[in-house]
Amino acid sequence: MDGFLAADIGGTHIRVAAYPTDAIKPILHKRIATRGENTPTERLIDLLVEVSGSLDHVLGIGADVPGYIDPRIGLIYTAPNIPGWRNLPLQAILHERFRVPVALGNDANMAAYGEWEFGAGRGHQDIIYMTISTGIGGGVISDNKLVLGHHGLATEMGHVTVWPEGPMCSCGHRGHLEALASGTAIARWVSEQLALNSPSILSSSPKPTARDISQAAEKGDALAQEALGRAGKFIGQALANYLHIFNSSIIILGGGVSHSGPYLMDPLRSALERNVISPAYLDGLQIKIAELGDDAGLLGSLALIRSQST
Ligand SMILES: [Zn+2]
């Protein structure tokens, strides 16, 4: 059978799957650690070779990369979690090795693409996708096209200022959404409150995670509920700004924190309603949780390489 290879490259694991030309159920799917005795690039190539054995002919390769990347020229500027990946012409390297079309994308962009093609965004022409986990990332489909920008660096949704005097972000700037509403930021805020002796069922756990906080909120813990509400408010505020720019018909929320339920979602919706400059932005607007889970990036990479091979 002929088909495509898709790779999902993360800081911990590299996953590669082989797909037929017209379905999204993989023929073969394998996962290895990103770090090992050889370089991540060699490990990726070895895994692609191994999984390609399940296909008669490889028609193309799609891959998502966790970092700053220009997909048009296939160049990775930096990928902080992948050792040695700086100014790496990965597209050229893979093309040289496999002699088939290769398409690359930023991981959050590819997740947006996957949700658009196969998940919660099917049928929409204008999509805002935001993933909220350790960090905050995203992707935008505008008029049926993935927004890339001049160097492919567009829609870094976590790195917008929502509180100029706020806490420092992982990028070194202050008051970004990621520093206030990511899973890491939620956990940090709760730890700070616990250090001030705020009463909470979490006070017995030394370092509560965003998941612990979400579970505590469900059990009625006021501090945990406040933490999620605070994050939801900042996310809603940022989403109102994005709606003003893109006027999308659907907002798709992915990542672990998106499953925090009403304690996050109700303040998010209220902040969105409060901050839009016209109720017309909300008319028919859908807000949905992402459907593809961990496979969004893999399926987005598949959709991208298929779209470029037809
Ligand atoms: Zn930032």
The Å distance, Cα 174 to ligand 1 centre, comes to 7
110-131 pLDDT per residue, tens:
999 999 999 999 999 999 999 9
The pLDDT tens digits for 51-85 are 999 999 999 999 999 999 999 999 999 999 999 99
Mean pLDDT of 147-169: 96
SS3 category, 89: coil
Q: Ligand 1 centroid vs 112 CA: distance in angstroms?
A: 20
Distance 175 CA to ligand 1 centre (A): 8
Distant-in-sequence, close-in-space partners of 234: CB < 8 Å, separation ≥ 6: 162, 163, 177, 180, 181, 271
pLDDT digits (tens, 9 = 90+) for 3-47: 999 999 999 999 999 999 999 999 999 999 999 999 999 999 999
Determine the distance separating the centroid of ligand 1 and the alpha carbon of 46, expressed in angstroms: 34
Rounded Cα distance between 16 and 9, Å, is 8
166 CA to middle of ligand 1, Å? 11
- Are the C-beta atoms of residues 54 and 47 closer than 8 Å to each other? no
The percentage of the chain sitting over the pLDDT mark of 90, rounded to a whole number, equals 98
- pLDDT for 231 beyond 80: yes
pLDDT bin (cut points 50, 70, 90) of residue 206 is confident
Q: What is the DSSP string of 5-52?
A: EEEEE-SSEEEEEEEETT-SS-SEEEEEES-SSS-HHHHHHHHHHHHH
pLDDT of 46 reads: 98
- Give the Å distance between the CA of 171 and the centre of ligand 1: 4
* Residue 234 three-state SS: helix
CB atoms within 10 A of CB 263: 22
Please give the torsion angle defined by the CA atoms of residues 221, 234, 210 and 122, in that order, rounded to the nearest 10 degrees.
120
Ligand 1 is a single-atom ion; what residues have CB below 5 A from it?
159, 169, 171, 173, 176
Give the mean model confidence (pLDDT) for residues 277-293. Answer: 98
Whole-number mean pLDDT of the chain?
97
User: What DSSP element (H or E) covers 298?
Assistant: helix 296-309
